[in-house]
A = this chain, B = another copy of it.
Amino acid sequence: MSHPSRYGQGLEPNPANHVPLSPVTFLSRAAAVYPDRVAVVHGDGVRTSYAEMYQRCRRLAGALAGRGIGPGDTVSVLAPNVPALLEAHYAVPMLGAVLNTINIRLDSATVAYILDHGEASVLIADTEFAATAKAALDQSGRDPLVVDYTDPEGPSADVSGVETIGTLDYEALLAEGDPEFAWEPPADEWWPICLNYTSGTTGQPKGVVYHHRGAYLNALGNLITLGLDGHSRYLWTLPMFHCNGWSHTWAVTAATATHVCLRRVDPAAIFPMIRDHRVTHLSGAPIVLNMLAHAPDEVKIAFDWPVRIATGGASPPSSVIERMEELGFEVQHLYGLTETFGPSMVCAWQDEWSELPLEQRAARCGRQGVSLITMAETRVIDQVSGDPVPADGETIGEIVHRGNTVMRGYLKNPEATAAAFADGWYHTGDLAVLHPDGYVEIKDRSKDIINSGGEKISSVELEEVLYRHPKILESAVVARPDETWGESPCAFVTLEEGAEADAEEIIEYCRQHLARFKVPRRIVFCELPKTATGKIQKYVLREQAKEI
């Protein structure tokens, strides 16, 4: 048997046939092919063409280079979904530097931790968040170049009255740069491109390091999965600081489509924007769907073209899917993590589902699904043996991934990196079953499984039942210490506006829909605590449950 090297004599990679993959090239191509097409819409005033966007990004890159920023330096941005944050997704990687987008809902101490840990050399901060940025800088040991981004669409000053904190304004920085700045692609597609801190529910956040290769491939994977093309208009309801907007910051440009910016998720603003800009695609956590589905009728506006909304995280309850479909949205369910550049799986639609009654359809299409085209392999494995679980829809195991859209690892955290990559797989920490049709369905995070007298209860299953109750807006179920059973389920519930119900009614409803051992022992009516990215903070509820 011969070896492939026999084909390799004199045929090694050279600059003509091996070019590092980088998502920056999507912008240079879009500017070359569709220079006049609208790349960015922001408010009433901003309509940036692809030629202009590319020039602005080259200006920013040139200006940063002039300020000494280069390969391996960290540029942090604290901003909502504004053009500057999008521009940073191209300008920073043009220098081989690393973009660190910071969640605007974080407290100043956490922002300070991120600036320190990520060794930020620049901080670009939207003036609405000037007070947070200032407090963070005061607590931080770093002394980065601070740039104010003053957005005409934003408030003129932040709530504390702080207006600007920086050395110069963003537009002044851009004016320092050459619109024809000659940027260089990365020398290697494995070079770092982004540093994204997880919003971790315990301990300090971890810094997830992305590579150019993965950003390029996941952008193409998302373009294909969402069905983006040159006529798509993508409304930014998903934070760009969240896994770089699930790589859509690059995917929309790859498709030469239009980015429609949005500072704040508000149904009263979103419906008119869908109408006025003929939006075709948007994304968001289930909470965004919830907000749209439950928006007051006077806010809702009908549209007569297909609008696809991609969601991830917990599966949307069937009632929300139903309301969204009635409004004209097509709901697409994705799954992913910060560690996987956003989406790693999609609940790929099967034609025959269209014929199913709503409940069954929602149950099918709300699963986490199958690998995205650019994710090489997904398995659900037994956490002890490492073997794949049977595709029986019952046996719970951990979702693990292998592919090119998995992070390099955690910055300066070899232990966490080694744990994440144990046995040559990326371990998501999410517990799921594999259905006979090959679709994965999450049952819980490892720590969210409730162990009641040896019976394992999935909090997700309970929540799905509770969500279906007509009076319930949101719910979360956690384990509560129980003298008899070890743990028992405790449900926290938010009712629909104006609805009334008592614990007895909810428990009786659960008895009709759940095995007896799974019925929550306690029902607590309250607002649910959420993380900065809109995830329900179960660890807060677990603490509360202990106190009851």
Contact = CB atoms under 8 A, between A and B. Distances in A.
A266 B348 CA distance: 37
Interface stretch (A66-74, A451-459, A489-497, A530-538): A66-74
Interface in A7-22: 7-19, 21
Interface in A175-227: 185-186, 190-192, 195, 209, 213-214, 220, 223-224, 227
B9 A412 contact: yes
Interface of A: 1-19, 21, 25-26, 29, 32-35, 68-73, 96, 98, 185-186, 190-192, 195, 209, 213-214, 220, 223-224, 227, 229, 254-255, 348, 350, 370-371, 373, 376-377, 401-404, 406-409, 411-412, 414, 417, 421, 424-426, 438
Nearest to A439: B33
A16 B424 contact: yes
A17 B209 contact: no
A35 B436 CA distance: 12
23 contacts: A1-B71, A2-B72, A3-B71, A4-B71, A4-B191, A6-B72, A7-B209, A8-B192, A8-B408, A11-B408, A16-B401, A16-B402, A17-B403, A17-B408, A18-B190, A19-B402, A25-B376, A29-B370, A32-B438, A185-B376, A223-B224, A224-B255, A254-B373
Contacts of A438: 32-33, 35
A192 B16 contact: no
B424 A15 contact: yes
Nearest to A410: B11
Nearest to A421: B16
Stoichiometry, copies per complex:
2
Q: Is the interface of A mostly helix, strand, loop or mixed?
A: loop
Contacts of A13: 190, 408
Nearest to A22: B376
A8 B414 CA distance: 11
A16 B408 contact: no
B404 A18 contact: yes
B3 A414 contact: no
Nearest to A227: B229
Nearest to A418: B10
A404 B224 contact: no
